[in-house]
Amino acid sequence: MSAGEERLDHSSPISPATSAAEPFEIAALLRRCMGDHEFAARLIEKFTGRLADTVKEIERGVEAKDWSSVTSRLHNLKGEAGSLAAVELASSAEEMRERLFDGHIHAASTHLLELKAAADRCIQFRFTIAKRLEQAASVALHG
Amino acid sequence: MRVLIVDDSQIALALLEKALQQAGHEVDAVTSGEEALKWVHKGVHRLIISDWDMPAPDGISLCRKVREISSRYVYFILLTNHRDSGHIVAGLSAGADDFIVKPFDPEELLLRVRTGERILSLESRDMVVFSMAQLTESRDRDTGKHLERVRKYAQLLTRQLMRFPEFADRIDDHFVQLIYETSPLHDIGKVGVPDAILLKPGKLTPEEFATMQLHTTRGAATLDAALERFPDAQFLKFARDIAAYHHERFDGTGYPRGLCGEEIPLCARIVAVADVYDACRSKRVYRSAMTHSAVVELIMDSAGTHFDPAVVTAFVQVANEFDRISREMADEPAIHFDELGTVPASAAIAPIMTPAGSLSP
């Protein structure tokens, strides 16, 4: 499967401000991985490798109005994204979950677009993450 | 330490495992509360880190189960996104010892694990020290609550000494705690002294006294053997010094090594005063108990010869407290049934019972 095929289908354009920022906070990620950039790259690979499916499951849950399943998946997504310092994706998942909790179904459904965009940026980043992590680790090591 | 980690997120589990392994811990990782319970039944982990939000059983239920099942204390850390007081109360009520908020910082995680290790080691230490001290006490019924009183006296003296400027950099709260915990072991070597000498009612012959003196080196050897196995156990070093040197005298005429002055470890100099005070205040089969003022006088007269003058100064300052402890923790009159011959137990107890059956004053 190519990068293009993995890209999520979303209609909201990515704003230049957000697209300029990296979807993972590299320094925080490295710290959580005890400075091991290869380990960090493997985790990102694993996370982004199934991210498209996760988002699709959330989307299907929204269509089926299976809110319990949607909130549970959003909770897990927020946890994993947060652990890997994918801040934008984590906060997007949390916002959507909060809106569902508050009963704002329509707002939550609209928020799905933002979530998909954030997830897509993470997926695209997997192709450059290894190099970025190596660079960051080198900078951390040599100053 | 062998740590069990539980999280339904593979990513979180991998991060936890990485941090813990890098810090030298042995890690078993499972993705559900159910799998974790299988490990809990085996009883091999003293520390568990579990996610709160998992499919049933969740972290809270797992924690409750651990408290029900485990025969030993297991330190339980909950990983959570919940920061509100309601959740914290729920976690603590279920028996959790600590919380780590996700996403966790590895440095914080390892510090909290170290706290858990420290608490677990305190529990093990107390258990070991208490058991060993009990063993000593069981040999000599005459000593009654001697060990319990000595630790109180030693603690009191050490706290007082902590106020002296010359001891400010050597005595802190940790030192006070260590002396409280380990002073009951001062006579541990007596377990190797034959009954004929240990329980002899009269004066010891020079040969018997020489054998009795060996309790210091025997006690030290016992604790040294434990230290070989656990070289970082500071409390064992402390206990060893007390056991070895509490009969040294400040002027160098004590035993076993004839150390003098500052050569004698401070903890042993403190316990020496506590031990002698209690021995003098207690009745023995071969002599009656001395009064508080007589013992204070004796200890003051021995400053610089038997005892460290600074420790004696501290003792005098808190002497009234010594007297209070001595009275509050006085031994009950001992009844040695084996000395009563073959009379039935009811007949042996009868003399101290009133006609109504209650204990006589």
CA distance B291 to B51: 61
User: Which residues of B fall below an 8 Å CB-CB distance to A?
Assistant: 8-12, 14-15, 18-19, 22, 53, 81, 102-106
What is the model's pLDDT at position B147? 85
Question: B358: left (phi > 0), else alpha (psi -120 to 50), else beta?
Answer: beta
User: What tokens does B139 get?
Assistant: 């040999």
The residue that leads in pLDDT, B130 or A121, is: A121
- Chain A residues near residue B15 by CB distance under 8 angstroms: 32-33, 43, 83
For chain B, which residues score pLDDT lower than 70?
A: 126-127, 130-131, 134, 140-144, 232, 285-286, 332-361
As a whole number of angstroms, the distance between CA B281 and CA B326 comes to 8
> Number of A:B CB contacts under 8 A?
47
Strand ranges inside chain A, DSSP E = none
The per-residue pLDDT for A106 is: 80
Tell me how far apart the alpha carbons of residues A52 and A3 are, in angstroms, rounded to a whole number: 11
B125 contact partners, CB below 8 Å, separation of at least 6: B181, B233, B235
The C-alpha atoms of residue B183 and residue B287 are separated, in whole angstroms, by 25
Strands B47-51, B2-6: pairing is: parallel
Per-residue pLDDT at A3: 39
Give which of B7, B15, B54 to mutate to test A binding, by max A Cβ within 10 Å.
B15
Contact B19 A34 (CB under 8 A): yes
Closest-CA residue to B154 (of B124, B178, B131): B178
Q: What is the mean pLDDT of residues A44-51?
A: 93
Q: Please report which confidence band the pLDDT of residue A133 belongs to, taking 50, 70 and 90 as the band edges.
A: confident
**So what's the pLDDT on residue B84?**
77
Q: Mutual orientation of helices B309-317 and B266-281 as an angle, nearest 10°?
A: 50
Q: Give me the helices (H) in B74-105, please.
A: 85-93
Q: What is the pLDDT of residues A87-119, one digit of tens each?
A: 999 999 999 998 888 878 787 778 899 999 999
Instruction: Identify the bridge partners of residue B80 per DSSP, sorted by sequence position.
Output: B101
Q: Exposed/middle/buried for B186, CB within 10 Å: 0-12, 13-18, 19+?
A: buried
Q: Out of A36, A75, A80, whose CB is closest to B12?
A: A80
Report pLDDT for A143: 59
Q: What is the mean predicted confidence (pLDDT) over A33-47?
A: 92
Report helix, strand or coil for B51. Answer: strand
- Looking at the complex, report in whole angstroms how far the Cα of residue A116 sits from the nearest Cα belonging to chain B: 20
A40 class by beta-carbon count within 10 Å (0-12 exposed, 13-18 middle, 19+ buried): buried
Which residue in A36, A80, A94 has the most chain B C-beta atoms within 10 A of its own C-beta, making it the best mutation to test that interface? A80
For position A14, what pLDDT does the model report? Answer: 36
Residue type, A5: E
Distance of CA A98 to the CA centre of its chain: 17
**What is the structure's pLDDT at B141?**
60
Distance from CA of A71 to the nearest CA of B (A): 12
Structure confidence at residue A120 as a pLDDT band (50, 70, 90) = very high
Name all contacts of B329-332 with Cβ < 8 Å and 24+ positions apart. Answer: B329/B145, B329/B148, B329/B149, B329/B152, B330/B145, B331/B144, B331/B145, B331/B282, B331/B283, B332/B144
For residue B109, the chain A residue with the least C-alpha distance is: A32
Instruction: Provide the pLDDT for residue B33.
Output: 94
Residues near A107 by beta carbon (within 8 Å), at least 6 away in sequence: A99
DSSP assignment of B146-207: HHHHHHHHHHHHHHHHTTSGGGTTT--HHHHHHHHHHGGGTTGGGGGS-HHHHT-SSPPPHH
Judge if pTM exceeds 0.80: no
Question: What pLDDT was estimated at residue B77?
Answer: 96
Whether residue A39 and residue B18 make contact (CB cut-off 8 A), yes or no, is yes
Residue B230 structure tokens? 């656990």
Question: Which residue bears the tokens 């959003």?
Answer: A74
Question: What ipTM does this complex have?
Answer: 0.81
DSSP string, B216-258: HHHHHHHHHHHHHH-TT-HHHHHHHHHHHHTT--TTS--SSS-
